[in-house]
């Protein structure tokens, strides 16, 4: 008898087929039908994942394959375990909301037959990666995810020149990720004689070490960890916003799932240096990502670098958990691993809000440059409210899911006995400093993002004429915003459920609206009660404000003399560049910021100033120092190869003769 998990997997294939078929419908109904089908498929995936997360199992979808390899190739198997169920539920919820947002947002090439068909394939791939029970199923789902996202990213290539190079960067790195994972799985398959996960236990240490290096490199590339993060700030700004939201909130989590698959299921007893690699990658990514995000003026580029920061924090939590388990502090290690899943879930919620909010702003104003926005809170109140909640989650402010997740991580770091291990004594203080600095810079970054975009006065005609988003767009943003707050209000049951996903044996969690980590003696007071108390305190303030507004209606007032300047001009306001100036001065050496000031003077009066043009550009240090020199070296090698291949038959015969001589010399020895 088919159980609920098997039915859920079958339903996802059915919704994908309907979504692809709906892409062939006329344009007037295509968005609604295709978006609804994909959204229902996401809800089905979420329900299936939740059932698996609770410990239910099914026979799985089994498909025999006929490929070269003899008896070593197992049948294709889709059967999510508890860890896969968590990531399946996360991906399904995100894709359901982004498809709903896309109904109102998708336009142009993103709303074409190709655009919606690619989104359906992409959604299916993301949802099935954590359901795979063998290497071949995993790689097929991974490639569907990669191809679908690449086509989506390329949607606007005809109208915007920056799309093509961004797609090229993404395509190269995402398929490099695929090749690295393929190589890692190949090593394990050759050593074990099979492709099923269960065959890869108890392999020798040299095999697992080689596989670990290859697989971590591949998964880190997809997750966007430094130094393989460079596709994120290029791809996210150029992709359609509903695709950006899905890629950031769901797709990059498949890289995190891969890291956990390797260390918790395939090789659960790996050496300590594996954990140190995770902590190093995570801490560097978190700090570098938030530094870059804090000085960006492009809203979607800011969010892309913020994703590198968030993924870095998640990877740091995984590394700390593995390090503590390896040193015998299992209870604290379990808390750190639960914190990693809480961070992943909270990031999925608030990044869905923020990227869809950025898409709503772009749709209404045609701008994503913060310096050209402003005043949107009055023109787009629903978008502003949702984006504000998402910004609070990203800044880890109470009572959001981001606050709870980072609180749990900090509790794990604080309650670690560093005296038990010299390695812990070195790693943990550095990790705590990085996390603290990252949290502080995150708060500054998202105060800037919300304040500059939505408050003060409009700085451009697009912002002046902005309008609220359509119903489906607003609904998707508000649901994600409610999730961002809701996950922060019920951390107790959620943490207990996630403990099973990471195999926590010594996790003692109690509370419903509060959270008590009994194994550590740490208590998070009831966030729901705190929220109600805050709301009660706000009631008299709002009442007084309403009465004052009725007694003193707003009217236009001529302001007094403002030192010869126009005091009502938006040019008198802080913008994103000026807000970030103190950070640029402090971290300018690390960010390699370039500035230029041009003073414009009349030809007939060189002592008078007609205008001043200021330009500030922050570049990606890793891209400039690592990738661009490598690309230039490859171009020089290509030029050299082109000179060798000049079409001369005499030169080709000389090459053949020289090769023959080398072969004869080698054979004769």
Minimum mean pLDDT range among 33-47, 133-147, 198-212, 522-536: 522-536
**Cα gap 554→536, rounded to integer Å:** 27
Backbone angles phi and psi of 612, in degrees to 5 = -130, 130
Residues 431-457 pLDDT 10s: 899 999 999 999 999 999 999 999 888
**Cα gap 308→511, rounded to integer Å:** 32
The answer to whether residue 593 is domain-embedded is yes
Tell me what pLDDT residue 2 has. Answer: 54
Average pLDDT value for the chain? 86
628 and 602 share one domain: no
The answer to whether residue 158 is domain-embedded is no
628 and 662 share one domain: yes
Minimum mean pLDDT range among 127-141, 347-361, 583-597, 633-647: 583-597
The answer to whether residue 662 is domain-embedded is yes
> Are the CB atoms for 289 and 105 separated by under 8 Å?
no
Residues 601-625 pLDDT 10s: 887 777 777 777 777 777 788 888 8
- pLDDT higher than threshold 50 for residue 326: yes
Q: Which of 54-68, 174-188, 508-522 has the highest mean pLDDT?
A: 174-188
Helix ranges, 295-326 (H):
299-326
**Cα gap 513→72, rounded to integer Å:** 50
More confident residue, 349 or 502: 349
> Are the CB atoms for 98 and 245 separated by under 8 Å?
yes
Q: How many domains does the chain divide into?
A: 2
Query: pLDDT band at 535, cuts 50/70/90?
Result: confident
Averaged over 181-207, what is the pLDDT?
Answer: 88
Residue 635 C-beta-side C-alpha neighbours within 13 Å:
6
The answer to whether residue 362 is domain-embedded is no
> Are the CB atoms for 69 and 15 separated by under 8 Å?
no
- pLDDT higher than threshold 50 for residue 1: no
SS3 at position 196: strand
Averaged over 228-250, what is the pLDDT?
Answer: 92
- pLDDT higher than threshold 70 for residue 372: yes
Residues 470-497 pLDDT 10s: 999 999 999 999 999 988 888 878 888 8
Q: Using alpha carbons, list the distances in angstroms from residue 594 to 305, 444, 552, 579, 619.
A: 19, 22, 48, 17, 8
Q: Which of 390, 378, 435 is nearest to 410 (CA)?
A: 435
**Cα gap 597→397, rounded to integer Å:** 38
**Which residues share a beta bridge with 597?**
614
SS3 at position 427: helix
Q: Which of 197, 200, 495, 469 is nearest to 356 (CA)?
A: 469
Backbone angles phi and psi of 23, in degrees to 5 = -65, -20
Tell me what pLDDT residue 199 has. Answer: 86
Tell me what pLDDT residue 598 has. Answer: 79
Torsion of CA 5, 6, 7, 11, to 10 degrees: 100
**Which residues share a beta bridge with 612?**
599
Q: At what angle do helices 401-414 and 381-394 cross, to 10 degrees?
A: 10
DSSP-assigned letters across all residues of 459-528: -SHHHHT--PPPHHHHHHHHHHHHHHHHHHH-HHHHHHHHHHHTT-SS--EE-SSSEEETTTTEEE--HH
Q: Which of 148, 166, 161 is nearest to 237 (CA)?
A: 166
Averaged over 374-379, what is the pLDDT?
Answer: 89
Tell me what pLDDT residue 612 has. Answer: 77
631 and 614 share one domain: no
**Cα gap 343→406, rounded to integer Å:** 7
- pLDDT higher than threshold 50 for residue 428: yes
Q: The sheet that has 515-517: what strands, in order across it?
A: 509-510, 515-517, 522-524
Q: What is the share, in percent, of the chain residues with pLDDT greater than 90?
A: 45
Q: Which of 317-321, 567-571, 578-582 has the highest mean pLDDT?
A: 317-321
Minimum mean pLDDT range among 2-11, 86-95, 112-121, 267-276: 2-11
Backbone angles phi and psi of 667, in degrees to 5 = -65, -40
**Cα gap 576→580, rounded to integer Å:** 6
- pLDDT higher than threshold 60 for residue 511: yes
The answer to whether residue 33 is domain-embedded is no
Backbone angles phi and psi of 116, in degrees to 5 = -75, -35
The answer to whether residue 588 is domain-embedded is yes
- Helices and strands of the chain, counted as H and E runs: 26, 7
Query: pLDDT band at 20, cuts 50/70/90?
Result: very high
Residues 91-111 pLDDT 10s: 999 999 999 999 999 888 888
Name the residue range of residue 591's domain: 580-619
Q: What is the largest CA-CA distance in the chain?
A: 105
Averaged over 27-44, what is the pLDDT?
Answer: 93
**Cα gap 484→473, rounded to integer Å:** 17
Chain centroid to CA 627: 21
The answer to whether residue 613 is domain-embedded is yes
SS3 at position 240: coil
Minimum mean pLDDT range among 27-31, 517-521, 546-550, 662-666: 517-521
Chain centroid to CA 154: 19
**Cα gap 308→248, rounded to integer Å:** 9
Minimum mean pLDDT range among 74-78, 136-140, 183-187, 641-645: 641-645
The answer to whether residue 598 is domain-embedded is yes
More confident residue, 125 or 583: 125
């Amino acid at each position: 008898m088919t159980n609920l998990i098997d039915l859920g997997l079958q339903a996802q294939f059915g919704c994908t087929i309907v979504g692809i078929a709906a892409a062939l419908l006329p344009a007037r109904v295509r968005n609604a039908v295709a978006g609804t089908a994909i959204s229902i498929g996401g809800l089905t995936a979420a329900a299936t994942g939740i059932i698996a997360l609770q410990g239910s199992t099914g026979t799985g979808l089994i498909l025999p394959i006929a490929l070269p390899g003899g008896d070593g190739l197992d049948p294709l198997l889709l059967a999510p375990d508890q860890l896969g169920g968590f990531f399946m539920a996360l991906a399904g919820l995100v894709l359901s909301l982004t498809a709903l947002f896309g109904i109102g947002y998708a336009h142009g090439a993103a709303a074409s037959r190709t655009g919606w068909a690619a989104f359906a394939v992409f959604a299916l791939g993301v949802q099935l990666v954590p359901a795979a029970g063998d290497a071949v199923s995993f790689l097929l789902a991974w490639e569907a995810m990669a191809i679908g996202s690449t086509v989506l990213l390329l949607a606007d290539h005809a109208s915007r020149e920056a799309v093509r190079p961004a797609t090229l960067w993404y395509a190269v790195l995402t398929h490099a990720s695929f090749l690295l994972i393929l190589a890692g799985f190949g090593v394990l398959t050759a050593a074990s004689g099979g492709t099923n996960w269960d065959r890869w236990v108890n392999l020798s240490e040299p095999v697992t070490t080689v596989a670990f290096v290859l697989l971590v490199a591949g998964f880190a590339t997809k997750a966007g960890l430094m130094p393989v993060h460079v596709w994120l700030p290029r791809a996210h700004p150029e992709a359609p916003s509903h695709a950006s939201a899905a890629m950031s909130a769901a797709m990059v989590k498949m890289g995190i799932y891969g890291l956990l698959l390797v260390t918790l299921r395939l090789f659960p007893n790996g050496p300590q240096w594996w954990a140190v690699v995770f902590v190093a990658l995570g801490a560097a990514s978190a700090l570098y990502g938030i530094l870059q995000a804090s000085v960006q003026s492009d809203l979607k580029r800011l969010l892309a670098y913020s994703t590198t920061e968030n993924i870095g924090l998640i990877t740091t939590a995984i590394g700390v958990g593995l390090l503590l388990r390896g040193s015998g502090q299992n209870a604290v290690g379990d808390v750190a691993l639960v914190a990693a899943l809480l961070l992943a879930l909270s990031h999925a919620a608030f990044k869905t809000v923020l990227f869809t909010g950025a898409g709503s702003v772009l749709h209404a104003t045609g701008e994503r440059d913060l310096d050209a926005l402003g005043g949107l809170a009055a023109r787009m109140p629903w978008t502003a409210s949702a984006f504000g909640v998402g910004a609070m989650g990203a800044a880890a402010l109470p009572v959001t899911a981001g606050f709870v997740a980072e609180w749990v991580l900090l509790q794990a770091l604080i309650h670690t006995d560093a005296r038990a291990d010299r390695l812990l004594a070195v790693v943990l203080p550095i990790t705590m400093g990085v996390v603290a600095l990252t949290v502080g810079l995150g708060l500054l970054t998202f105060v800037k993002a919300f304040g500059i975009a939505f408050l003060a006065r409009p700085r451009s005609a697009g912002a002046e004429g902005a309008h609220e988003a359509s119903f489906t767009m607003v609904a998707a943003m508000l649901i994600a915003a409610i999730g961002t707050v809701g996950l922060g209000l019920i951390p107790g049951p959620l943490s207990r459920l996630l403990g099973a996903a990471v195999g926590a044996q010594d996790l003692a969690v109690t509370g419903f609206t509060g959270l008590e980590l009994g194994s550590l003696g740490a208590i998070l007071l009831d966030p729901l009660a705190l929220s109600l108390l805050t709301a009660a305190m706000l009631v008299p303030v709002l009442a007084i404000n309403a009465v004052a507004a009725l007694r003193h209606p707003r009217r236009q007032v001529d302001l007094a003399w403002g030192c010869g300047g126009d005091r009502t001009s938006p040019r008198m306001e802080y913008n994103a560049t000026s807000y970030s100036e103190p950070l640029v001065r402090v971290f300018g050496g690390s960010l390699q910021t370039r500035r230029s000031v041009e003073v414009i003077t009349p030809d007939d009066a060189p002592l008078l100033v007609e205008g001043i043009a200021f330009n500030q550009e922050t570049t990606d240090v890793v891209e400039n120092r690592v990738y661009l020199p490598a690309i230039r070296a490859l171009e020089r090698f290509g030029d050299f190869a082109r000179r060798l291949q000049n079409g001369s038959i005499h030169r080709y015969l000389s090459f053949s003769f020289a090769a023959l001589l080398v072969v004869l010399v080698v054979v004769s020895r």
